[in-house]
C-alpha cells in the first residue's frame, strides 16, 4: 500500500521537493533519529520544513510561531505534506500507517514504565493522539519552558491516548483513525 501511494503521489513529491529547494537553502529531506517498536532507533524521513540545521536548536519541539519554520514549511505542515516521505519508513518496516507517533530518544527517556508499553507496537504516521494534538504547537505556547510543558503536560496525555488505543486495538479502529486523519487534514 505504501509503495502504491508513493507512486501515486510522486508528482506531488516532485513538486514539493522542487519548491523546497527553490525557496530555502539546504536539503529537501530531513532525517532524525526516532524510536519505534521495542525501542529500536530508526531515521524518520520528512520533507524539510525548517531552516537548514534547525535540529541543532536547544529544543526539539515546535511552537506556534517558531522562527525556524520556513514559509514553505508552514504550508507543508498545515497540509501534512511534510509527512509523505514517511511512506519510505513504512516500506522499510520501521513504521506503519497507524500507531503511536515516534518520539526522539530524549523524550522516550522520560517515559514512565506504563508509557513504555507504547513501544510494543511499531510507530505510525498517524494515531488518535496525533489527531487530537494536531495543533500541539499552540498548546506549547502556554508555558515559558517549551520542553517542560511538552514533557509534563502534552506527553502524558498523548501517551494515555496511545495506551487506550492499544487496549482497544482493532482493524475497524485503525480504519477509523485513517479516515479521521484525512478529515482533520481537510478541515484543519
- pLDDT value at 131 more than 90: yes
Give the confidence band of 60 by pLDDT, cuts at 50, 70, 90. Answer: low
Grid cell for residue 119: 513501544
**pLDDT over threshold 70, residue 80:** yes
Q: What average pLDDT does range 117-130 have in this prediction?
A: 95
Q: How far apart are CA 77 and CA 82, in angstroms?
A: 6
* pTM of the predicted structure, to 2 decimals: 0.89
Residue-level pLDDT at 5: 96
Q: Which three cell numbers stand for residue 150?
A: 511538552
Q: Tell me the three state secondary structure of residue 102.
A: coil
Asked whether the beta carbons of 58 and 65 are under 8 A apart, the reply is no
Distance (Å, rounded) from C-alpha 129 to C-alpha 62?
16
Q: Which residues contact 40 (CB under 8 A, 6 or more apart)?
A: 94
pLDDT at 140: 80
- E-strand spans in 117-157? 123-126
Query: Which cell goes with 96?
Result: 506503519
pLDDT surpassing 70 at residue 119: yes
Mean pLDDT over 78-91 rounds to 95
pLDDT at 107 over 80: yes
pLDDT over 80 at 10, yes or no: yes
pLDDT band at residue 64 under the 50/70/90 scheme: low
What value does the mean pLDDT take over residues 150-172?
94
pLDDT at 71 over 60: yes
- Run of H or E including 62: none
**What local confidence, expressed as pLDDT, does residue 171 receive?**
94
Q: What does the pLDDT read at residue 165? A: 94
Least confident segment among 12-16, 19-23, 50-54: 50-54
Q: Check residue 53 and give its pLDDT.
A: 73
Segment 109-117 long-range contacts (CB within 8 Å, at least 24 positions apart):
110/151, 110/155, 111/159, 112/159, 114/159, 114/163, 115/156, 115/159, 115/163, 117/163, 117/166
Amino acid at each position: 500500500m505504501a509503495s502504491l501511494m508513493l507512486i501515486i503521489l510522486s508528482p506531488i513529491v516532485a513538486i514539493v521537493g522542487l519548491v523546497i529547494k527553490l525557496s530555502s537553502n539546504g536539503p529537501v529531506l530531513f532525517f532524525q533519529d526516532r524510536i519505534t517498536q521495542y525501542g529500536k532507533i530508526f531515521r524518520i524521513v520528512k520533507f524539510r520544513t525548517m531552516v537548514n540545521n534547525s535540529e541543532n536548536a536547544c529544543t526539539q519541539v515546535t511552537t506556534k510561531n517558531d522562527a525556524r519554520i520556513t514559509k514553505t514549511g508552514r504550508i507543508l505542515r498545515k497540509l501534512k505534506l511534510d509527512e509523505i516521505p514517511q511512506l519510505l519508513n513504512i516500506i522499510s518496516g520501521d513504521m506503519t500507517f497507524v500507531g503511536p507517533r515516534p518520539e526522539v530518544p530524549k523524550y522516550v527517556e522520560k517515559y514512565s514504565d506504563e508509557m513504555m508499553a507504547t513501544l510494543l507496537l511499531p510507530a505510525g504516521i498517524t494515531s488518535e493522539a496525533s489527531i487530537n494534538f494536531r495543533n500541539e504547537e499552540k498548546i506549547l505556547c502556554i508555558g515559558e519552558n517549551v520542553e517542560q510543558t511538552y514533557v509534563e503536560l502534552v506527553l502524558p496525555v498523548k501517551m494515555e491516548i496511545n495506551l487506550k488505543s492499544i487496549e482497544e486495538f482493532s482493524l475497524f479502529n485503525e480504519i477509523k483513525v485513517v479516515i479521521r486523519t484525512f478529515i482533520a487534514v481537510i478541515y484543519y
